[in-house]
């Protein structure tokens, strides 16, 4: 069983920046995908960005050019650098881990990001 521990959420003004981190509690192997999803009040959970263990990335159109996903395989950690934040980015952000060899999906507990003046 893998646990995902998230940090870095908080309150920021429009145009500001935040960096989210998510660390897996143990080694997750050499082939996997980690990512970030978010859920705003009254809305479905949506993809923000993902990154494979090989470094391939995918991101939502709404965050391209503003958010950057990265990872440190040695530390089993994924990051989300969020710049030029907008009020519509306000949501609970969830860390995700997918291990395809066992078709297993893990979720973090979520961290609140609020963008407001």
Task: Determine what percent of the chain falls in helix, strand and coil, rounding each to the nearest 5.
Answer: 10, 50, 40
User: Phi then psi for 87, rounded to 5 degrees?
Assistant: -55, -35
Distance CA 80, CA 113 (A): 12
Per-residue pLDDT of the chain (117 residues; tens, 9 = 90+): 899 999 999 999 999 999 999 999 988 888 999 999 999 999 999 999 999 999 999 999 999 999 999 999 999 999 999 999 999 999 999 999 999 999 999 999 999 999 999
Describe the strand order of the beta sheet including 67-72 as a list of residue ranges.
4-7, 18-24, 77-82, 67-72
- Give the distance from CA 49 to its chain's centroid: 7
CB 83 within 8 A of CB 101: no
Q: List Cα–Cα distances, 47 to 36, 65, 110, in angstroms.
A: 7, 15, 14
């Amino acid at each position: 069983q893998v646990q995902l521990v998230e940090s870095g959420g908080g309150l920021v003004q429009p145009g500001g920046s935040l960096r989210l981190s998510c660390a897996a509690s143990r080694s997750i192997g050499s082939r996997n995908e980690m990512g970030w999803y978010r859920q705003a009040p009254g809305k479905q959970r949506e993809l923000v960005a993902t990154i494979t263990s090989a470094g391939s990335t995918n991101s939502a159109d709404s965050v391209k050019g503003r958010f950057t996903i990265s990872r440190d395989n040695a530390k089993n950690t994924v990051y989300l650098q969020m710049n030029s934040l907008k009020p519509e980015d306000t949501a609970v952000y969830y860390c995700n881990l997918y291990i395809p060899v066992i078709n297993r999906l893990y979720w973090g507990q979520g961290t609140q990001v609020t963008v407001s003046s």
